[in-house]
Amino acid sequence: MGKGIYVATSGSMAQLRQMEMLSNNLANARTTGFKADRMTFEETLANNASNPVSDRPGGPANNPERTQVGERNKHFVQPRGAPADMSNGSLVQTDNPLDIAITGNGMLKIETANGMRLTKGGQLVLGRDGVLMTNAGYPVLSDKGQRIVLPPDRIPDIDADGTIFTEDGEVARLGIATPDLSQALSKDPDGFFAVVPDGLASQDLQVMQGHLEESNASPVRMMLELIDVQRTFSALRQVITASGEMDSQAIRLARG
């Protein structure tokens, strides 16, 4: 069987992975603070040790020229992962006192079942017990790592440094992490980021009350990329089909 079918198969599987990633980005194009994923690929070589030809007289192990040819014919596509695009989304003004946008590299600390996580999603609500939480129900943490409880019937004022005030005085300060966004951050299935050591805070870091940061996944761009990936996948499927037909014809001729 020709090696081309294996190369095309590895490429089509990589395109399927990319389609799943782009579909998830598209589905979250309206999710506040969502950071789009980006798939990266690398070229890998098959393990010659698994090739029975290498154990035969005159095989790659005894013939450097054949080894080089074999390696050139065994290049495959390997997905490396999907690091998040940490570029900022657009800011929109909502005038809702519980909506916040954190500019720069600031990220909000929240409590989840898997421990503390970071998010750019600043659409906040109050629970029945006055606990400040995200619109998905995750409690927001203070700079001391505690849940923030607001007095009932009080409209909060949030300063640029994240300090929360009401008519009764200072309540707490938002827990804000400042990771180095030039490094790849680990994102969980819920779209939150694992806590990492703080880097240097950017000069434009501030909390903007009454604003939200939109997703940085552009629906138009995601659709165009999906179309391109689907076309590539279809082309690879045609290569696989053609390779299979050629192998079948070769077998028939050999038996001829």
Between 48 and 223, name the one with better pLDDT: 223
Query: Which band of pLDDT confidence, cut at 50, 70 and 90, is reported for residue 60?
Result: very low
Q: In the chain, where does DSSP find H-type helix?
A: 4-27, 64-72, 219-255
With a CB cutoff of 8 Å and minimum separation 6, the contacts of 189 are: none
**Rounded mean pLDDT of 21-26?**
92
Question: How far apart are the C-alpha atoms of 37 and 231, rounded to whole Å?
Answer: 20
Pairing mode, strands 207-209 and 107-112? unpaired
What DSSP assignment string belongs to 121-150? --BEEE-TTSBEEETTSPBBBBTTS-B-BP
Whether 178 and 200 have beta carbons less than 8 Å apart is answered as: yes
> Which has the minimum average pLDDT: 64-73, 94-103, 185-194?
64-73
Predicted confidence at residue 150, as pLDDT, reads 94
What is the gyration radius of the CA atoms in the chain, in angstroms?
A: 26
Mean pLDDT, all residues of the chain: 82
Query: Which band of pLDDT confidence, cut at 50, 70 and 90, is reported for residue 28?
Result: very high
- Residue 100 pLDDT > 50: yes
- Percentage of residues of the chain with pLDDT beyond 70: 77
Residue 196 CB-density burial (10 A; 0-12 exposed, 13-18 middle, 19+ buried)? middle
CB atoms within 10 A of CB 23: 13
Instruction: Provide the Cα torsion 63, 69, 70, 72; round to 10°.
Output: 150
Predicted confidence at residue 131, as pLDDT, reads 96
